[in-house]
Every structure is written in structure tokens, then in C-alpha cells.
Amino acid sequence: MIARSLKWTRHNLFGKPFDVLLSLTVIPGVLWMVYQAVSWALTAARWDIIPQSLRVLMIGVFPADQAWRAWIAIVIIAILLGAALGCVFAFKGRHAGALVPVWAGCAALAGIENVTNVLLIAVTIAAFAGGWAVASRFPPVRKALVPASFIGLIAIFAVMAPPGAGLWGGLLLSILLTLVTAVLSLPIGILLAFGRRSRFSGLRWICTGYIEVMRSVPLIMVVYWIWILIPVLTPQFNLADVVRGMIGFTLFYSAYVAEYVRSGLQAVPRGQTEAARSLGMSEFDINRSIVLPQAIRVVVPPLVGNVLDIFNMAPLVFIIGLTDFLRAGQMILANPQFGDRTYEVYSFLFLTYFLVGSLITFVARKLEAHLARGSR
């Protein structure tokens, strides 16, 4: 092991004169920065602000007496995420063991003395593990994941709606926005991709124009215009700001999903469609049974990466007055009592975004490797 590490270091860090110079310049600087950050985090930082403000960071200004609704939504999200993970990775005993430190860390963050939160965190992690285990061991569950996702999202909206959708916020809002956009943009993007390849010129031009327009303007403009135009065009429907924000995100990212799917459609060999036509299959059956499954298999990794992009862009909803995870941290710092805790709050936000993004990236890479093995 040591010999292999030394060989890797010599080959990658000190293989050429320029590599030696770059390594001797960068490595000491990085080590110094890491030392300073760790020293500050362990000695000077006052982390008590995180447990005190954890409710605001997680659910924003959602009423404290209605927090049980947020916990139900979190459990449903945990089940759906676990089931989605179980479609690719088999649940094993070591995975259950790895979730124990996760529970311990979350419990310590929430405060060990708060027994209710500790138990609710345990239930959430158990729901995630249960969804993972059931989906990985029972194939019929995996086939029903898409309709189950829509049912789960409807249940979340039904549970969270009574206090008012305008009160949703925090990390829960960022995750909900990501899930809704990812789930709804997929079927819309698939329809747009097929429409762009349609033999009907009118439909093809409409889909192409929509995709090119959405990909040519910034997301913040789309969200803002949807927020403004919906009350003007449909005054009879009093849609909440959060719903309008989700519509803007969905319309924007559907164009990108359409391009991903279109690249997958082009990767399907033309001989397969010609063979299906020679057998008398209709165009609908060819696309549904032959073309689309192979195209989705090709573009699953970039689609998972698209989820990371949606999550990272969620803070843009501040423009329509919503309190996402980042905005919740800024609200805490606006309190004069915590005005001097800027570094602690933003460090926690950075670590949370980094952990979620790293997890999504890890799953995307494992999924890509899994699909590559299956295609050989």
C-alpha cells in the first residue's frame, strides 16, 4: 500500500519539472489553508448558532406548531429517494451500518437533549433505508416508482398546504423544488425531444423554438417572468409564489432535458427502427418499446447531473420572495444577536451544499459505471 502510494505520488505530483514546481507551490498553500480552517473551526468558531437556528435553516418560517407536517414531508421524500437509489444499488448490511453515523451526526446537530427530534431523525433514516431495501429486492416496486413519485409529491403538497405554501422555506424548500422540477421536467422533456424529431413541421418548429428560447435566456429571467405573467394571464387561479417558482424551474429545465433525451435518441441505431417497421409495428410502439428505453439508458447519467444543477440553482427563488436554504441563513444573520456569526453560518451552508452535491455526483458516477457494465 505504501509503495503504491509513493509510486502514485512520484508519477502524478513529481513526474516532470513543471509538476515538481507546481506541487511545491500548491501543496504547502493548500495545507496551510486547511490548517487555518480546522484551527478556526475547533477553537475560535462558535457553532451554537447552528442548533439554535436549525429549524429556520431546515423549514424557514414554517410555523413551529405545524412542524409535524414538515416531518411527514421529509419522511415521504426519504422513502422516494431510498427507492430511487434501490433501483440501481442493492441494499446490503454494510449500508445499514453506514447510516448509523449519519443518524448520530444529525442527532448531535439537532441536540441530543431533544429526544423528539432524535427519534424523528431515526424514523427518517429508517424510512430511507426501508425504501432502498424494498426497491432493491422487489422488481415490481421499481416499475411503480414513477407513479409512486407523483403520488408522493401530491401527498407532500396536501400535507404542507394548510398553513400556506408561502411559508415553505429552508432546506426542505430547496429539496422539494429540486424533486418537483426533476420529476416533472422528465416527461415534458421527452415529449419535446420527440416533437423536435417529428415529421410534422409545425410541431417540430414549435418544439425547436421553445427549446432554443429557454436555452438562450437565464433561469432567473424565466422564473421572474413566470411569476409575473401567471396572475395576469390566469387571474382566476391564485397560485402561490412557490408553485409559480416550480413552474418556472420546470419549464426552463425541460428544455435541457429535451436536449439530453434527443442526444440519446440519436444514439439508437437506425437499423433497429427499420427492423421494427418491417415487422409492422406502429411509430408509437417503436418509440415506446424500442427507442425510448435505449435512449434513457444512455442519458441517465447526465440527467442525474441535471438534478445537481437544479439544486444548486434553487437559491434563485429569492427573487420572488421565497426563503430557500441560503436565504434562511441570511435571515439568521439579519438578527442583531447573530450578526457576528457570518463565518459559522456560511460555513454550515457551504458544507451542506457540498455534501448534497457530492452525494449526487457520487450516485451519478456509480450509475454511469453500472450502466456501462450492463451494456457490455
Pick the last residue of a domain from 162, 193, 226: 162
Say if 50 falls within a structural domain.
no
Instruction: Note whether 189 and 113 are same-domain residues.
Output: no
Instruction: Note whether 157 and 169 are same-domain residues.
Output: no
Instruction: Note whether 341 and 197 are same-domain residues.
Output: yes
Say if 79 falls within a structural domain.
yes
Q: What is the pTM of this model?
A: 0.86
Other Cβ atoms closer than 10 A to 200: 9
Query: Could you give the 3-state DSSP secondary structure of residue 66?
Result: helix
C-alpha cell read off for 129: 433505508
Say if 76 falls within a structural domain.
yes
Say if 56 falls within a structural domain.
no
Dihedral sign of CA atoms 18, 20, 24, 30 in order: positive
Instruction: Note whether 359 and 276 are same-domain residues.
Output: yes
Instruction: Note whether 200 and 338 are same-domain residues.
Output: yes
Pick the last residue of a domain from 109, 134, 162: 162
Spatial distance between the Cα atoms of 257 and 211, rounded to a whole number of angstroms:
10
| Amino acid 71: pLDDT | 92
Spatial distance between the Cα atoms of 317 and 310, rounded to a whole number of angstroms:
11
Instruction: Note whether 154 and 295 are same-domain residues.
Output: no
Spatial distance between the Cα atoms of 329 and 324, rounded to a whole number of angstroms:
9
Instruction: Note whether 145 and 265 are same-domain residues.
Output: no
Helices then strands, counting H and E runs in the chain, come out as: 18, 2
Do 150 and 183 form a contact (C-beta atoms < 8 A)?
yes
Q: How many domains does the chain have?
A: 3
The identity of residue 262, as a single letter, is R
Give the residue among 302, 301, 317 at the shortest CA–CA distance from 246: 317
Instruction: Note whether 170 and 158 are same-domain residues.
Output: no
Say if 49 falls within a structural domain.
no
- Residue pLDDT tens, the chain, 376 long: 566 766 777 766 677 777 778 777 888 888 899 889 889 888 888 888 888 888 888 988 888 889 899 999 999 999 988 888 887 778 887 877 888 888 888 877 777 667 788 888 889 999 999 888 888 888 888 888 888 888 988 999 999 988 888 888 889 999 999 999 998 999 999 999 989 888 888 888 999 999 999 999 999 999 999 999 888 888 777 888 898 999 999 999 999 999 999 888 888 888 777 787 787 777 778 877 788 888 888 888 788 888 889 999 998 888 888 888 988 888 888 888 887 888 889 999 999 999 888 888 887 777 777 666 555 4
| Amino acid 209: pLDDT | 93
Instruction: Note whether 216 and 101 are same-domain residues.
Output: no
| Amino acid 376: pLDDT | 47
| Amino acid 255: pLDDT | 93
Instruction: Note whether 136 and 226 are same-domain residues.
Output: no
Say if 58 falls within a structural domain.
no
Instruction: Note whether 241 and 299 are same-domain residues.
Output: yes
Say if 54 falls within a structural domain.
no
Say if 297 falls within a structural domain.
yes
Other Cβ atoms closer than 10 A to 272: 13
Pick the last residue of a domain from 162, 186, 215: 162
Spatial CB neighbours of 12, under 8 Å, sequence gap ≥ 6? 19
| Amino acid 4: pLDDT | 73
Domain containing 154 equals: 65-162
Instruction: Note whether 134 and 172 are same-domain residues.
Output: no
